[in-house]
Chain A
Amino acid sequence: MWFFILAELLVFALLFAAYGFTRLENLMLFNQLQQQLNRDLALLNTLALISASYTVVRSVLALKSGENSQAARWMWLSFALGMVFVAVKSYEYSAYIGQGISLSTNVFYMFYLGMTFFHYMHVILGLVILAAMALKLQRGDYMADECSGLESGAAYWHMVDLVWLILFPLIYVMH
């Protein structure tokens, strides 16, 4: 799992660098269009992802304390918070499609939509993992002293959060 996570992180690092150096050649365009992005929704999404990471930590700690049902509740809460992110981002994408904006509109939207959609797909995979872990917690499949599977799934979710922590300031704030 850790090699997979590191490979994913490396891909995102290259995308961030590509964004930065492409911005160099299109400074006016990037600065102008960045101001038109919905920063309020980005804030809501950032809070949702950070909160989901926190509740995943709570779930793992609850399991290690032998509180299986409590651990399942924390995991379902993480899932719900992750769904907030997906709902908000889906709403944003549908608004862009409605305005006729796509990857081919210009180089800024190519990066903005490309990077956020790539991350969005990781969130969806993370949600599948969270739901599977919540169900396993409900069934009592994890033990307090043997929960490496749960910790690996949690690490994947934190990776998704970690990427967004760089993506949010880079795309929505820094100019």
Chain B
Amino acid sequence: MMNNKPSRVYLVLLLLTLLTYLVGENGLGGLWVAAVVMLVAVLKGVLVVQYFMGFRQVIGWWRWPVLVWLFLPTALIMLSFYLAAI
């Protein structure tokens, strides 16, 4: 029987991508818009790590490095956008 979970995750990833694209097409900018766009990117990343890479089923230390990676560039990028905004 076909496992439908990846298909649902795939659909969510497509919808979130279209949302990000529309933000860009409408010229929306500024610190808070950047924060929301980055949050959407992290959410997409978490879905890929958990459901496509299969880390959801991993127990122990190996579960964390790739997930933590997602937050490292995100924090640095948001810090740079915050400094640009103040």
Contact = CB atoms under 8 A, between A and B. Distances in A.
Interface of A: 2, 5-6, 9-10, 12-13, 16-17, 19-21, 23-24, 27, 31, 35, 39, 42-43, 46-47, 50-51, 53-54, 56-58, 61, 151, 154-155, 158, 161-162, 165-166, 168-170, 172-175
A16 B38 CA distance: 12
B17 A50 contact: yes
Given A27-B84, A174-B81, A175-B29, A169 B48 contact: no
Contact of B23 (A5, A10, A19, A173): A173
A165 B63 CA distance: 20
Contacts of B48: 53, 158, 161-162, 165
Given A166-B73, A169-B41, A54 B6 contact: yes
Q: Is the interface of A mostly helix, strand, loop or mixed?
A: helix
A174 B38 contact: yes
B80 A57 contact: no
A20 B6 contact: no
A35 B21 CA distance: 13
A54 B80 contact: no
Given A2-B62, A50-B17, A162-B49, A21 B44 contact: no
Contacts of A46: 17, 21
Contacts of B62: 2
Contacts of A154: 53
A169 to B, nearest CB: 5
A173 B24 contact: yes
B37 A39 contact: no
Given A6-B69, A13-B72, A158-B48, A43 B17 contact: yes
A111 to B, nearest CB: 12
Contacts of A17: 73, 76-77, 80
B77 A47 contact: no
A54 B47 CA distance: 11
Interface in B1-60: 3, 6-7, 9-10, 13-14, 17-18, 20-21, 23-25, 27, 29, 33-34, 37-38, 40-41, 44-45, 48-49, 51-54
B37 A166 contact: no
B10 A169 contact: no
Given A6-B66, A16-B73, A50-B10, 5 more contacts: A54-B52, A57-B52, A154-B53, A168-B41, A169-B41
